[in-house]
Amino acid sequence: MDRTSALDSAFLHVEDAHSSLHIASLGIFEGPAPSQDEVVTAIERKLPAVPRLRQRLRAVPLAAGRPVWADDPDFRIEHHLSRLRVPAPGGEAELREVAGVVLSEALPHDRPLWEDVVIEGLEDGRWALLTKVHHTMADGIAGTDLLATILDQAPEGPDPAHDPPQEWAPARPPGPARLVADAVREQAVLRSQELRGLPGAVGAALGHPVTTARAAGAIGQGVLGFARAVVPTTPTSLVGSLGRDRDFRWTRISLADVLLVRERLGGTVNDVVLAAVTQGFRDLELTRGLGAEPDSVRCLVPVSVRRPSSSTLDNEVSALLLTLPVELEDPRDRFYEVAARTLALKESHEAQAGQWALAVADALPPPAVAAFLHLAFRVPHRNLTTVVTNVPGPRTTLYLAGRRMLATYPYVPIADRLRIGVAVTSYGEDLLLGITTDRDSTHDADVLLAGLRSGFDDLLAVASSRRPRQESR
């Protein structure tokens, strides 16, 4: 059994009747759509590579510890695979409507926290695979790796002769007494390790005072950076109460164009993305008559702290809090301001402070952390406006049941009072963007989508008018 971390279990506590905390991807495939038997066969043979897909969460009685992952003795792959058909003519509008309905539904907690939905009837003979994975199970990078594992790297898939089906027998599920005993034992071991390690930590601190002071100073600087988020943003209709239903829109941008902008203007790919997102929110605010005021759009930007050798599905992320310069009209000014702000945030050690805070949360009694989260996410505030996540995706072509995947659009959940979320990934030669909105309150998401595309186009125009940096010296 694997125990969830404080961050993993936080996504359970945040979820409520208005917020379903799953990440997702909408893969578009060449036709014809495979039969249900073909889909079952293609995915079932990959399950041994991802044991978590056949495990469910077990809550610890008396809240003595965080939930654990344990084999589901009732696992049936058919419970996680379903099919839907879009109405004619099967265009993007029809697919968007069906995808929104599926994404609005929470994953049942009494079984493994994932599902795949085959969506048939798309125009040009295409079909889609909508994959949902609860955020408790995986972060964005782990979710992307999971998709790459479930799909094939060749049309014919793995050779059955070299990769025969494996029989699976679930481990006996833990009873209530064992769950409590294991949780108490783990807490006792953790406290003992902390006590035993204290003299060594003190000795190391005294032996290397400069290094210790720098580390403490970096964390303190990062904590102060997060503390700035206590200051409310400018009032805006971009945040507020949420309904249950979600809308999902998407678009694609040439990755070569994005790389050209980065090459000509400097910064990073993420700076290019965030500058385009800034224009999208600027256009949305101006359309709503909000004035695009400074400090009106503060976004949470997840930052991976995953080690290169890590192969777990757990969440290994920290975050930066970036205020988007929506008040700036010129695309060049917006880009350079975004690049300067993101660089300053990286140098402020906010990501390290986030890691430290999560480590502290892991060491605290689970009931105290759960109580804090329940309170924090149910008190109205104006500290955040949106979330923008950017996760590199596979560059090689992927297949399912011999059908080539043409695109994969990412979905990020929204919760608390955030009515809009933006997710970005890459696949092949494209940068793919997905926009999540609250259906009840956000009826103008097309304005944001058009603004995003316009933001990329404007940056490309600016970059195309400049010679490469190495030639301009």
Name, in order, each residue with C-beta under 8 angstroms of 105's C-beta and a sequence gap of 6 or more: 20
Longest alpha-carbon distance in the chain: 72
**Quick check: is 135 catalytic?**
yes
Q: Which of 454, 457, 449, 455 is nearest to 284 (CA)?
A: 449
Give dist(CA 66, CA 20) in Å, integer.
20
Exposure of 435 in the CB half-sphere (CA atoms within 13 A): 23
* Number of C-beta neighbours around residue 155 at 10 A: 12
* Number of C-beta neighbours around residue 245 at 10 A: 15
Q: Out of 135, 162, 381, 443, which one is annotated catalytic?
A: 135
281 and 386 in contact (C-beta within 8 Å)? Answer: yes
Give dist(CA 274, CA 299) in Å, integer.
10
153 and 55 in contact (C-beta within 8 Å)? Answer: no
Q: Which of 411, 426, 420 is nearest to 446 (CA)?
A: 420
Q: Are strands 317-323 and 81-85 parallel, antiparallel or unpaired?
A: unpaired
Residues with a known catalytic role: 135
